[in-house]
Structure 1
């Protein structure tokens, strides 16, 4: 019979040098990413033992508290943010942690790109200031093309501006689609520290109870789309798609249902709908667009435990089922082994693009 708790032995297998006297400790979502080392400090040999319930999904990182009280988090080899270490607790285990580097003021700017960059970067005026716009389209297709608007545009193409050194590789996926005879244009919209305000359409603690989602959706329809149509030629609504992940999935669903007839396809990746006590689920009741196709998906490792992840998949499937009678088509899929991160969305993007253009 399995014990309810599993013992994990963590060992730092490699780390770059730190100031003398720095204490290394483990943090993660199981600790709400606390910077308090209490109870989670590695011993002088770089080892730490912890216990966790079976089925826990762990995302962890190493941090260092220095003698002056400052804290540094592990990063990539170029001083940028690193992806967390991931582990599914299924029993006792010995786990090695390789620290490639420490975050510093360079923010990873020397990191080499593994994915193609956008073809063009510019900015448009917006109520909140200059809004960056990152554009890509396949060579030889300079006229009107089906248009995909992506939220979190800093994560769409090359890895240099991304949050944790991982991107959607949108250009690579779109190039493969073009090679199959379906060229498209991508307009990616980077976001900064205002992400919670821009993407969450209901007041809650993380946007200071002051949502800017309607302003953002108005700007896409009233400024971005006219700009792109004037420059490249008009694109009908049925060939215009809006997509995003997490809170970006939330604003995609909200904008599409708020403004029926504007987008022919909505890509709702891993939608986060809990803000304001799941206000979106109440808001969407009775709303729809009979001409829109909607892609909804969720990874099966996106909760804090395997059980919570299964419940999240079920709730997201229910959202898709609730939406289905109100739209032309609702497609739901599950990403097997997928966490809530860019690598998962990168893997699911090509299937979405094919469904959009070939379906």
Structure 2
């Protein structure tokens, strides 16, 4: 197997402790055995073609473990590693997590114009709203899942956002204004987004409850406040499990959403139960965008297999919907920067047709 050398650069003031490497290639283990840095260097033998996301962790003198973070004490995006023969991988640690969840992160992207709260069966549901300046009436509506990740960076999972406001502003500047309603989710994400009982949702899916709320509470509220919007001008979109619930809700409730943005759909739960569930389902009035990055897997081959799966899913849908579009993000991993890059093309396709 290829020999991979990791070279570590630490931020000033790093506390004492044992530094080690973890990642998805070792199931994010907290055990430093065999993966400890010596004088800032770690040598490892890894499979050729491996696609790995890795982070540095520190075992403190009191036995606790601290993970690397961003410069403001929040979670940081993982380092990306592609193994192609012997290689050296520089790892620069920007900071260490300190429990503040990155609340001091500077904002690079446009925040929502307004945040409100609606009642839901699971409690209060925040709704983050954005619209272009000077457009107060009815506008085509985009509903986004994982609303904590789509606007400004401070509340995001790892400091990266979709910059949905920036993408929508560019669309408005081209003559196609839209309104965005983004729905943050908490630790119940797996229950809310996965339509099938699995260990991650404690074998109790809340996806139907969520889809019912979207159709029966969120849409009527937005129509009542801003004016009615036709199903044709209503889009639902999300990534990963957010892509899964997008496809599920759209096919479950035909005639509700004119466009579905299914980004990097995670369809593996319950032994790919979604693929069996969707057989024969469709919406003759709906357009469906499906995409996948070419680095969304544990290896180069696994990533190609995921692309094939997503392409086949699109082909299965094609006879049962108005239109489909499948695209592959070159060099894209399963993360916010990739979805940020693909969002503008989806928005243009939704509002203007082929891109």
- In structure 1, the partner of 2:67 is 73
CA contact (8 A) 1:16 1:102 kept: no
- In structure 1, the partner of 2:4 is 8
TM-score, structure 2 normalization: 0.99
Aligned-partner Cα distance in 2 for 1:351–1:18? 42
Which whole-Å deviations, capped at 9, do the CAs of 1:283-340 have from their partners, x for residues lacking one? 0001000000000000010000000001110111000000000000011110011000
- In structure 1, the partner of 2:53 is 59
114, 128, 131: which is aligned to 1:120?
Answer: 114
Equivalent residue of 1:11, what SS? strand
Q: Please give the residue correspondences for 1:1-359 in structure 2 after superposition, counting only pairs within 5 Å.
A: 5-20=1-16, 22-43=17-38, 45-359=39-353
Which whole-Å deviations, capped at 9, do the CAs of 1:2-35 have from their partners, x for residues lacking one? xxx1111111123343433x10000000010011
Q: Runs of 5+ in structure 2 lacking a partner?
A: none
Aligned residue pair count: 353
Aligned-partner Cα distance in 2 for 1:312–1:106? 35
Equivalent residue of 1:95, what SS? strand
Equivalent residue of 2:68, what SS? strand
The alpha carbon displacement at 1:59 in A equals 0.8
Q: Runs of 5+ in structure 1 lacking a partner?
A: none
Equivalent residue of 1:53, what SS? coil
CA contact (8 A) 1:174 1:353 kept: yes
Which whole-Å deviations, capped at 9, do the CAs of 1:82-116 have from their partners, x for residues lacking one? 01111211111122211110001211111101100
TM-score, structure 1 normalization: 0.97
Aligned-partner Cα distance in 1 for 2:168–2:324? 22
Aligned-partner Cα distance in 2 for 1:11–1:309? 26
Aligned-partner Cα distance in 2 for 1:288–1:95? 46
Aligned-partner Cα distance in 1 for 2:351–2:330? 23
Higher alpha-carbon deviation: 70-79 or 6-15: 6-15
The alpha carbon displacement at 1:184 in A equals 0.1
RMSD of the alignment, in Å? 0.7
